[in-house]
């Protein structure tokens, strides 16, 4: 069984990586461990536990920036921001329950390392777009930093975009600075009833292309949801515009509290309603491709369940348990990316968890890995 190293500050973190480098020890890098069941299983020599690197370093509400340590729980960050009526605009999801964990266990840095974003991804951007800067240690034992604590920063290369989505395979972060935004006064949702998948995607794309500033567009079985946020007069005017846009459709509206609860469920993939042994996929594609992708899969697996987020560009899919998670079926002809979010360990060993890369992209990724972590210290094999 692997031992555990728990650094208490940046100096101890660097010392731990230097020791691992000198001893040829591989490191399972984790904050709270809430996403350990996502990705290829790892067999590392030591666990590098960042949970003691916790707490807010600096919070400047007037500058819309917060700086915190790598092990800081996401729920603590969101609670602090709520006190000043601010938020993480990319709407980080809580996938703990989907992965068999308790809700609220994840860290903000873990979310950034997966580049996860919720329904507001359409209007606010991905997680990487909100990471302003960081400090950490690479696989050569070198402390380095990128970006800073300001909204506009042009110092050096924008490594934040590279680290977000790397799943802890390039460097171990100690501290991050993240952009925050004011929380909306009101959140309202227009529900359109009775649309099939193709009609729903068309309606969502129409709404997103309208001047009504829709901040969320999702299609669940029998319901198509369009979210509008902001100050009350603006929200009401934009809702009126949407009602006129879809005149003749069967409609329903959700108030602020109901809307917030609804979009939290969409954010966390709760509408999928998975059975305990279902495998879960997260598919990104062009919105207009989504209905055909789901139809093709359901024709072969009639019990498959799916819903759409990001105006149809994100598909959450649940399939019955199988030895290979039906990965060939899911990816057959797909013009996009399919990530296996939940499956037993034996399945994740046997099939690609992340979308296989083209030879050119795989070669580029290998060169990036060689630059940051030439000995393969961090989370080896997690990304395949």
Question: Which residue do the tokens 């602020």 mark?
Answer: 256
Residues 22 and 70 in one domain: yes
Interval 134-160 mean pLDDT: 79
Whether residue 357 is contained in a domain is answered as no
Is the pLDDT score of 156 beyond 90? no
Q: ∠ CA 50-56-59 to the nearest 5 degrees?
A: 150
Domain boundary among 250, 267, 284: 267
Question: Domain for residue 335, yes or no?
Answer: yes
| CATH number, domain containing residue 322 | 3.30.70
Evaluate if residue 217 carries a pLDDT over 60. yes
Which pLDDT band, with edges at 50, 70 and 90, does 157 fall under? low
CA dist., res. 278 & res. 272, Å (int): 10
Q: Decide if 3 is inside a domain.
A: yes
The reply to whether 371 falls in a domain is: no
pLDDT digits (tens, 9 = 90+) for 335-367: 999 999 999 999 999 999 999 999 999 999 999
Q: Do 257 and 288 belong together in one domain?
A: no
Structure tokens at 214: 């829709």
- Looking at the structure, tell me whether residues 88 and 175 fall in a common domain: yes
Q: Residues 26-45, buried b or exposed e (16+ Cβ, 10 A)? A: bbbbbbbbbbebbbbebebe
pLDDT of residue 2: 73
Where is the domain boundary, 183, 213, 243? 183
For residue 343, what are the domain limits?
271-350
For residues 2 and 148, state if they share a domain: yes
Residue 154 has pLDDT above 50, yes or no: no
Verify that 293 and 322 share a domain, yes or no. Answer: yes
Domain of residue 255, CATH code: 3.30.70.2190
Question: Does residue 170 sit in the same domain as residue 251?
Answer: no
pLDDT tens for 280-293 read 999 999 999 999 99
Verify that 225 and 323 share a domain, yes or no: no
One domain, residues 169 and 215 = no
pLDDT in tens, 236-263: 999 999 999 999 999 999 999 999 999 9
Is residue 311 included in any domain, yes or no? yes
370 within some domain: no
Domain boundary among 222, 246, 267: 267
pLDDT of 155 higher than 60? no
Q: Which residue has the tokens 């990705």?
A: 39
Rg over alpha carbons for the chain, rounded to the nearest Å, is: 21
- Give pLDDT, residue 153: 47
Angstrom distance (rounded) from CA 28 to CA 45: 8
In terms of Cα–Cα distance, which of 214, 217, 175 is closest to 70? 175
DSSP for 227-286, written as a single string: EEEESHHHHHHHHHHHHHHTTTSEEEEE-HHHHHHHHHHHHTTGGG---TT-EEEEEEE-
Q: Is residue 376 part of a domain?
A: no
Same domain, 190 and 129: no
Determine contact, residues 48/173, Cβ cutoff 8 Å. Answer: no
Share of the chain above pLDDT 90, in %: 93
Name residue 226's beta-bridge partners: 190, 217
Regarding whether 344 and 227 lie in a shared domain, the answer is no
* Count of domains observed in the chain: 3
Residue 75: partners with Cβ closer than 8 Å, 6 or more residues away: 104
Share of the chain above pLDDT 70, in %: 97
259 and 287: one domain?
no
Please indicate, yes or no, if residue 380 is contained in any of the structural domains: no
Tell me, what's the pLDDT at 346?
A: 97
Q: Could you tell me if 302 and 203 lie in one domain? A: no
Q: What is the pLDDT of residues 7-44, one digit of tens each?
A: 999 999 999 999 999 999 999 999 999 999 999 999 99
pLDDT exceeds 80 at position 54:
yes
Specify whether the CB–CB gap between 132 and 160 falls below 8 A. Answer: yes
């Amino acid at each position: 069984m692997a031992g555990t190293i728990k650094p208490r500050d940046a100096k101890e973190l660097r010392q731990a990586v230097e020791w691992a480098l000198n001893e040829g020890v591989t490191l399972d890098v984790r904050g709270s461990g809430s996403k350990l069941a996502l990705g290829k299983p790892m067999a590392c020599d030591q666990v590098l536990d960042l949970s003691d690197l916790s707490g807010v370093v600096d919070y400047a509400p007037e500058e819309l920036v917060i700086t915190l340590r790598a092990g800081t729980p996401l729920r603590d960050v969101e609670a602090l921001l709520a006190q000043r009526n601010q938020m993480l605009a990319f709407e980080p999801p809580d996938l703990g329950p989907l992965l068999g964990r308790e809700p609220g266990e994840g860290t903000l840095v873990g979310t950034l390392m997966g580049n996860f974003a919720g329904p507001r991804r359409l209007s606010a951007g991905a997680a990487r777009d909100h990471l302003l800067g960081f400090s950490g240690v690479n696989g050569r034992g070198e402390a380095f930093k990128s970006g800073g604590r300001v909204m506009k920063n042009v110092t050096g290369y924008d490594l934040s975009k590279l680290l977000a989505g790397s799943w802890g395979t390039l460097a171990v972060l100690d501290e991050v600075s993240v952009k925050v935004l004011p929380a909306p006064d009101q959140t309202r949702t227009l529900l359109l009833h009775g649309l099939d998948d193709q009609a729903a995607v068309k309606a969502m794309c129409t709404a997103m292309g309208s001047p009504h500033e829709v901040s969320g567009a999702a299609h669940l079985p029998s319901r198509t949801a369009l979210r509008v946020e902001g100050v009350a007069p603006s929200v009401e005017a934009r809702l009126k515009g949407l009602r006129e846009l879809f005149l003749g459709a069967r409609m329903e509206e959700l108030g602020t509290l109901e809307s917030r609860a609804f979009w939290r469920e969409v954010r966390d993939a709760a509408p999928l309603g998975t059975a305990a042994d279902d495998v879960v996929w997260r598919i990104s594609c062009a919105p207009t491709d989504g209905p055909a992708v789901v139809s093709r899969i359901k024709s072969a697996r009639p019990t498959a369940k799916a819903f759409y987020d990001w105006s149809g560009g994100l598909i959450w899919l649940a399939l019955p348990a199988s030895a290979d998670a039906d990965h060939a079926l899911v990816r057959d002809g797909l013009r996009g990316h399919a990530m296996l979010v939940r499956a037993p360990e034996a399945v994740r060993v046997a099939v690609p968890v992340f979308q296989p890369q083209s030879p050119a992209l795989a070669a580029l990724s290998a060169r990036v890995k060689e630059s940051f972590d030439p000995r393969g210290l961090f989370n080896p094999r997690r990304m395949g």
